């Protein structure tokens, strides 16, 4: 994402709860400010979410793009960035929300799963859907092999959606997303 030409000029901050996150190193190498808001330093999800929102606001960012972020943000975070938090998820939501989506798709024997980009709301892996891409489940797929194919689609799709988001071409109207 950092290398996407239409996205890079809009990145105000790369934040993570993991000090070893590769995205922090890539951002630092690109001259983008970084911050670690370590989950363990806070007593609860609400305190963590407030601290993260404070960092995002201090950076001047107007929206938030989640990528590989495996925490559930408290409503206090979403209230500060209403309809301005994007997420990508490895399933065709509303099917298989949560952090075991790929394994759940395999366990349920679906023939097709996919990738969903959506705006975040108070529920887990829920909110207005921007777009989805289907990915077939192949015979003999493992969690790893299916996840690898899903990631190919994620890496193709997300930069394009994020570019539309940062350039002001995506708007939420109720439960629908409008593109300009």
Q: Would you please indicate which residues are annotated as catalytic (active-site) residues?
A: 89
Residue 133, Cβ density class (10 Å: 0-12 exposed, 13-18 middle, ≥19 buried):
middle
Instruction: Say if CB 118 and CB 94 are below 8 A apart.
Output: no
Q: Are strands 34-36 and 14-16 parallel, antiparallel or unpaired?
A: parallel
Quote the CA–CA distance of 21 and 6 in Å, as a whole number: 23
Quote the CA–CA distance of 121 and 99 in Å, as a whole number: 16
Q: What share of the chain is helix, strand, coil (3-state, %, to 5)?
A: 35, 20, 45
Q: Which residue bears the tokens 């993260």? A: 52
Q: Which residue bears the tokens 């993570």? A: 16
Nearest to 85 by CA among 44, 51, 113, 126: 126
């Amino acid at each position: 994402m950092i290398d996407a030409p239409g996205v890079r000029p809009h990145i105000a901050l790369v934040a993570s709860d993991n000090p070893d996150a590769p995205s922090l190193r890539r951002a630092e190498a690109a001259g983008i400010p970084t911050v670690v808001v370590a989950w363990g330093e806070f007593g609860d999800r609400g305190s963590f979410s407030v601290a993260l929102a404070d960092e995002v606001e201090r950076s001047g960012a107007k929206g938030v793009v989640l990528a590989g972020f495996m925490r559930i943000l408290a409503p206090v975070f979403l209230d500060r960035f209403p309809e301005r938090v994007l997420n990508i998820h490895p399933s065709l939501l509303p099917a298989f929300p949560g952090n075991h989506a790929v394994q759940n798709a395999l366990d349920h024997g679906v023939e097709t799963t996919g990738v969903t980009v959506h705006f975040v709301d108070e529920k887990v892996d829920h909110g207005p859907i921007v777009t989805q891409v289907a990915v077939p489940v192949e015979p003999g797929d493992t969690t790893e092999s299916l996840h690898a194919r899903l990631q190919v689609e994620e890496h193709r799709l997300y930069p394009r959606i994020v570019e539309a988001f940062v350039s002001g071409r995506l708007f939420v109207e109720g439960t629908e997303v409008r593109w300009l």
